[in-house]
């Protein structure tokens, strides 16, 4: 990977209109910024208009999920080929909100990743422990298991990026300390040596320290990616990392 990757996960925020306004402002704000790769992950209905707005820029557009089958009776799901046809660069899979609220498992996460990669899409596959698992001293065991499930199916694929997102740090304002992130990233990397993003309350003022850890290769940003100023400031902070 050329630089640190900063990906904005918009979750279920921003319809097509708001998304285009945001994308145009971000495009202008980060034009000429070197040393960082930037991606945004809008909701499905905003993908096509955001792709048009960012056409000709280096900002990549990812979906927030992708199905493992090529087509079929899977109401509400979207196939990798459909995203590819649209011009989408990749997809997030296995986000903890999908795991906690929509029955995503290690197996379905791996299957989604495999289908997307086979279609030529890039993948950001998420892993991370809950507060209870961390309190029970199971963090390494959990992230190794989650990563292993992906490694078993996908292996060392050049289109694969992992994201370590401790569930207790997502949307809570609680951030893993740089040392906690580094320890978890090292455990993940021992299973699968691909770029690993940190996610969980990343903000402009903690980006440099978190992304400066040896095994942290960028960030997956939720809340702070919804405002142009804070997302651009995170990208600028990441670009300063030597």
Based on CB atoms, which residue is closest to ligand PGA, 234 or 239?
234
Q: How far is the CB of 56 from ligand PGA (least distance, A)?
A: 27
Secondary structure class of 127 (helix, strand, coil): strand
Q: How far is the CB of 126 from ligand PGA (least distance, A)?
A: 7
The per-residue DSSP string of 66-90 comes to -BSSSSSS-TT--BHHHHHHHT--E
134: Cβ contacts below 8 Å, ≥ 6 apart: 166, 168
Where does this chain bind ligand PGA (CB under 6 A)? Answer: 9, 165, 170-171, 199-202, 220-224
Based on CB atoms, which residue is closest to ligand PGA, 199 or 218?
199
Q: How far is the CB of 167 from ligand PGA (least distance, A)?
A: 9
Q: How far is the CB of 220 from ligand PGA (least distance, A)?
A: 4
- Which of 148, 71, 70 is closest to 110 using CA atoms? 148
Based on CB atoms, which residue is closest to ligand PGA, 90 or 199?
199
List, by residue number, the catalytic residues.
Answer: 95, 165
CA distance 35 to 241: 8
CA distance 194 to 113: 14
Based on CB atoms, which residue is closest to ligand PGA, 170 or 194?
170
b/e for 97-125, b at 16 or more Cβ within 10 A?
bbbeeeebebebbbbbbbbbbebebbbbb
Name the residue number minimizing CB distance to ligand PGA.
222
Q: How far is the CB of 217 from ligand PGA (least distance, A)?
A: 15
Based on CB atoms, which residue is closest to ligand PGA, 115 or 170?
170
């Amino acid at each position: 990977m050329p630089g640190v990757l900063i990906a904005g996960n918009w979750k279920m925020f921003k319809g097509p209109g708001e998304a285009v306004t945001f994308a145009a402002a971000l495009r202008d704000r980060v034009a000429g910024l070197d040393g960082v790769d930037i991606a945004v992950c809008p909701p499905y209905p905003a993908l096509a208009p955001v792709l048009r707005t960012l056409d000709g820029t280096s900002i990549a557009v990812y979906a927030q999920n992708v199905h493992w089958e090529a087509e079929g009776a899977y109401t509400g799901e979207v196939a990798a080929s459909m995203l590819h046809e649209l011009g989408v660069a990749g997809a997030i899979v296995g986000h903890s909100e999908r795991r906690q609220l929509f029955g995503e498992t290690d197996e379905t996460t791996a299957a989604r990743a495999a289908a997307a990669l086979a279609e030529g899409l890039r993948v950001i596959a998420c892993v991370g422990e809950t507060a209870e698992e961390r309190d029970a001293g199971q963090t390494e065991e959990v992230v190794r298991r989650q990563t292993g499930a992906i490694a078993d199916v996908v292996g060392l694929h050049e289109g694969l990026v992992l994201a370590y997102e401790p569930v207790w740090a997502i949307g809570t304002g609680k951030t893993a300390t740089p040392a906690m992130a580094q320890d978890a990233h090292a455990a993940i990397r021992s299973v699968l040596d691909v770029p690993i993003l940190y996610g969980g309350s990343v903000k402009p003022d903690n980006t440099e320290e978190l992304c400066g850890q040896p095994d942290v290769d960028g960030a997956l940003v939720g809340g702070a990616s919804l405002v142009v100023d804070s997302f651009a400031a995170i990208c600028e902070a990441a670009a300063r990392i030597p």
